Structure 1
Amino acid sequence: MNPEFDFEPAATALETVVGQITDDQLGADSPCAETTVRELLVHVVDLTEAFRQAATKEAVGGSIAPTVGGERALPGDWRSRIPAQLKALVGAWREPDAWDGMTEAGGVSEQAAVMAMIALDELVIHGWDLAKATGQPFTATAGDLAVLLDLLRATPPEGTPGLFGPVLPVPAEACALDRVLALTGRSAAWPA
Structure 2
Amino acid sequence: MTDSIIDLGPQTRVVARLVEGVTDERLREVTPCPGTAVRNMLGHLLGLSVAFRDAARKDLGVMTDTAPDTGASDIGPGWREDFPKILDGLAEAWRDPAAWTGMTRAGGIDLPGAVAAAVVADELVIHGWDLAVATGQPYEPDAAALQSSYGFLLAATQDPSRGGGIFGPVVPVAAEAPLLERALGLSGRDPGWKA
Q: TM-score, normalised by structure 1?
A: 0.91
Please tell me the residue identity of whatever aligns with 1:64. Answer: T
The size of the alignment, in residue pairs, is 188
Tell me the residue number matched to 2:68. Answer: 66
Tell me the residue number matched to 1:173. Answer: 176
User: Retained in 2: the 8 A contact 1:13–1:140?
Assistant: yes
d(CA) in 1 for partners of 2:29 and 2:54? Answer: 30
Tell me the residue number matched to 1:86. Answer: 87
Call closer, same or farther: CA 1:166–1:53 in 2, change over 3 Å.
Answer: same
d(CA) in 1 for partners of 2:172 and 2:66? Answer: 33
Tell me the residue number matched to 1:184. Answer: 187
Q: Determine helix, strand or coil for the equivalent of 1:169.
A: coil
User: Retained in 2: the 8 A contact 1:30–1:133?
Assistant: yes
What is the Cα deviation at residue 80 of structure 1? 1.2
User: Retained in 2: the 8 A contact 1:155–1:167?
Assistant: no
Q: Determine helix, strand or coil for the equivalent of 1:84.
A: helix
Tell me the residue number matched to 1:48. Answer: 49
Write out per-residue CA displacement over residues 59-87 of structure 1, whole angstroms, 9 at most, x where no aligned residue: 168612122324x5421111111111000
Q: TM-score, normalised by structure 2?
A: 0.89
Please tell me the residue identity of whatever aligns with 1:84. Answer: K
User: Retained in 2: the 8 A contact 1:159–1:185?
Assistant: no
Please tell me the residue identity of whatever aligns with 2:82. Answer: R
User: Retained in 2: the 8 A contact 1:15–1:82?
Assistant: yes
Write out per-residue CA displacement over residues 15-57 of structure 1, whole angstroms, 9 at most, x where no aligned residue: 0000000001000000112200011111111101000000000
Tell me the residue number matched to 2:12. Answer: 11
User: Retained in 2: the 8 A contact 1:54–1:60?
Assistant: no
Call closer, same or farther: CA 1:153–1:3 in 2, change over 3 Å.
Answer: closer
Tell me the residue number matched to 2:132. Answer: 131
More helix as a share of residues: 2
What is the Cα deviation at residue 172 of structure 1? 2.3
Q: Determine helix, strand or coil for the equivalent of 1:29.
A: coil
Tell me the residue number matched to 2:58. Answer: 57
Root-mean-square deviation (Å): 2.0
Aligned-pair identity in percent equals 43
d(CA) in 2 for partners of 1:77 and 1:64? Answer: 22
